[in-house]
Structure 1
Amino acid sequence: MQERSMGVLGGNFYSASEITGFMREFGTMDDAIVDEGHFFVAEDDHGAIIGSGGWTRLRPSYANGLDDGAPTAGYPTVRSVFVDPAAVRRGVGTAVMHRAERDAATNGHDTLHLTATLSGLALYQSLGYRTQEVTSLRLPDRVRFACVKMEKRLTELAVV
């Protein structure tokens, strides 16, 4: 589902070579969110996964590819948020993000960070994430994969 999401939805913002390079270099799944226990999925009525995402304090797998070189470990970072292309515009991404935000707040965090793909930017903006920096990931052959570092204060969330 994640790879299909990146290929289809990302294809509206990135070239085929950018997507191929991203998939080869970084992939879509960051095992750190599973290892740390903050990975969430959304399922349809038949049990098929139609959305995913989570957060972790561990260093992202893509961190070495960031052009800005800023530290990316030690603070809660959203990762691996994807929605099945057949389920877009139905609140799946929003639901996954709200679940991750509540979990981060429950675990004592007041701010979440993320590095958004261009295809996810509108979702994050609609949820109140603010742009910190426009940057890119370095891919092989001098290819750049545009992305946006963002953050959101979680102090207004109702923790349930």
Structure 2
Amino acid sequence: MLNDTASSRYIVRHARPADIPAVRAMQERSMWVLGSDFYTAGEIATFLTLFGTMDDAVVEEGHYFMAEDHRGAILGSGGWTRSRPPYHNAIAEAEAPIGMATVRSVFVDPAATRRGVASAIMMRTERDAREHGVDTLHLTATLSGFALYQAIGYRTEEATELRFPDQSSFGCIRMQKTLEKPRTRAA
């Protein structure tokens, strides 16, 4: 498929609505395992209860991707959207302006870390966003995801937090990246 990216260990493809339950299960496992070095169990539980890991509409928009191995096991997920994330009111996030979009729900299965899965998903996400007229991607990184985004060129805008109704909070970092224009060949 032209729109998919393959490596010898996994393929990155568009997620489909039928994939949502399995993707969500992987994301929750990822949050509990990989997030536990940065958040308390209570913070993770509250985040998952209030916001979950993904919005089904992102998959339906057609800009959401998943990585799977040769057996079909889901290794990671992520994508972009122009719509506001469900947590936007908790951090006063505004609607994305024209030419800007939001990276959403990037997760890697704990058993698949350090294999380039998240980087491959982000490369595919950025390429797809460029192909659809997006100049700038922004995101709200979890503390556990911050190092990845920083390594692939996202710059920190501000450290912030999601405020929960019980007055507890969930630390995160707002980041942004201007996408490079695709190179054209000289005639």
Q: Which bin holds the TM-score, normalised by the shorter protein?
A: over 0.9
| Correspondent of 1:107 among 92, 116, 132 | 132
Tell me which residue corresponds to 2:86: 61
Query: What TM-score do the two structures reach when normalised by structure 2?
Result: 0.80
Tell me which residue corresponds to 1:8: 33
Q: What amino acid sits opposite 1:112 in the alignment?
A: L
Count, aligned residues: 157
**Aligned partner of residue 29 in structure 1, secondary structure:** coil
| Residues 158 and 112 of structure 1: CA distance in aligned 2, closer, same or farther (over 3 Å) | farther
Identity, in percent, stands at 62
Q: What amino acid sits opposite 1:29 in the alignment?
A: M
Q: CA RMSD in A?
A: 1.4
Unaligned runs of 5+ in 1: none
Residue 35 in 1 paired to residue 60 in 2?
yes
Tell me which residue corresponds to 2:142: 117
Alpha-carbon shift at residue 35 of structure 1 (Å): 2.4
Query: What TM-score do the two structures reach when normalised by structure 1?
Result: 0.93
Alpha-carbon shift at residue 7 of structure 1 (Å): 0.3
Q: What amino acid sits opposite 1:7 in the alignment?
A: W
Tell me which residue corresponds to 1:71: 94
- When Rg is computed on C-alpha atoms for both structures, the one with the higher figure is 2
> Is the Cα–Cα contact under 8 Å of residues 136 and 176 in structure 2 kept in the other structure?
yes
Aligned mates of 2:126, 2:47 — CA distance in 1: 26
> Is the Cα–Cα contact under 8 Å of residues 130 and 181 in structure 2 kept in the other structure?
no
Aligned mates of 2:183, 2:111 — CA distance in 1: 30
| Residues 133 and 8 of structure 1: CA distance in aligned 2, closer, same or farther (over 3 Å) | same
Aligned mates of 2:34, 2:180 — CA distance in 1: 31
Deviations 1:87-142 (A, max 9, x none): 00000000000000000001111110000000000000010000001110011311
Unaligned runs of 5+ in 2: 1-25
**Aligned partner of residue 32 in structure 2, secondary structure:** helix
